[in-house]
Structure 1
């Protein structure tokens, strides 16, 4: 028998992908960087001393917070570091939401939010996006929720709200607004809500080093908000929540902005070419401001539908993502890899969907 609490028994776990032991597999299923991190990161990792394993990490993450603060022109009191932004998502529900305070999000969005809400026994409500998957901001505001949470650009759609649209939501919201900017590096800092945290004390912005900085394995994310909100996060996050290794590597990555921007430029270029090629084959592609695209395969007789395509590509050594949930069942999500990886994928797609 299980001794778990009733609300835990009801949780459907977040779907995870097993690590690919075969390095020949083209992984286009988890929005990881196809490019290596900064050489500064690689060199530091190679030369680390034994003390980083023997001693506890800096629980305050002082150097990384100072580095992030300097980059954005903020004080470190406005920043908290998490074990990936995933830890801060779970902390959001533990800290600010319960059965009496409802969170609202657009649908579809990053599924971890629902899992985190269920784990915290917190109330969450979803508002459908428009037919083109743009966010219905008025519907979100009309819910009177205590917390509005948005992934911007959204996952898995890739749709982006402008900073002006975000500011309208923050200004009119009756409670807290959380903007998850995991993919904002690919959209551009001009769209980021981080500057608004200096004007509005009800705004939290989440960021991660997993995507554009090529540090998915380091598991480092951060939140930027008012000092009062950051103090609340610090009360509910785990002590020593990130390793000394990850903290040190992330400082180096943050200080090498030119490398990160090089990754962003490369992925944008490959993404836009890939979208053009997909549309020529007959795929319907939702415009994306991220390092992935959500698309619908052409409905041709004898050609694979979305779930069949995932299995066919897996048989050929390519992993992409399928979501067996409402509104996404006819679609696949494809992470953007290198030019060579996307060419391999396109060659296969041409064989599965020959021109009529």
Structure 2
């Protein structure tokens, strides 16, 4: 047996193994079929050289249809053809992997742009004076959609359900505080001609719903009437959700499981729909972000993903649209980026 043939055979096998290992790594994703074909060819040549070195009298001979192989060359040829047939079945997987990799690159680019935009902001978020409204369809779902409402909640009209991100004690904010809770409490109460709150309708009803309890579980939802908001804003009910937890001398922090909050919220709205209510739209603030003790991007993405997930799990839901509420320019930028990045959505929110 020739030492030179053994060295060449070993080199071909080692090269083929190296090429397959590289093709199986992350850099070879989407090209494994194309990269493994040369490896198979190297194995075939190596096997042919090895067999010829053992059986030097093995020859190739002409056959019908042009060309045929016999002996060691025939074995190598059979090995190569069988390998090609097997590898050809991986082509659709490579095409799928390549498309997935392109989507992941695009998502990474958009996320990086969003992170850069947030990191570059040195100025304080600016509240938006004008209210706008956009909807974004969900892929493969003509019944439901996600949307974005900008500006102050007090300017939002004709949305059936307003969501109040409340603490686990269900204690509404004082009416002079810059919070969603205070906005709902003030505008939902009865006021005198001077604009002073004289009947605290929603806070009183919420206290009744607590039925003497001091706390609720994180993510729990309590429903109250809209008070004066029914006539002034077209609101049908208020969904108070326990989205923040407080500790003495430490303030409030966002609850851990935002997905459960959204699932409980939409499930409660659909329960009311089954009881005869016609609740088709929900405006959802960025739960637990008012105090600044949370990740704005993570919160917006979590809420949007949870809403899409709920609609996918409940295709018969009578809710038509869930709107994220973005009060400041920073929140609008984050929400629009999230609605652009989510792969389950078509298009993007208004620009």
Question: Per residue, is there more helix in 1 or in 2?
Answer: 2
Bigger radius of gyration:
2
Same fold by TM-score, threshold 0.5 exceeded? no
Please report the TM-score for the alignment, with normalisation by the length of structure 1: 0.29
Please report the TM-score for the alignment, with normalisation by the length of structure 2: 0.29
Indicate the structure whose relative CO is greater, using CA pairs within 8 Å and at least 6 residues apart. Answer: 1
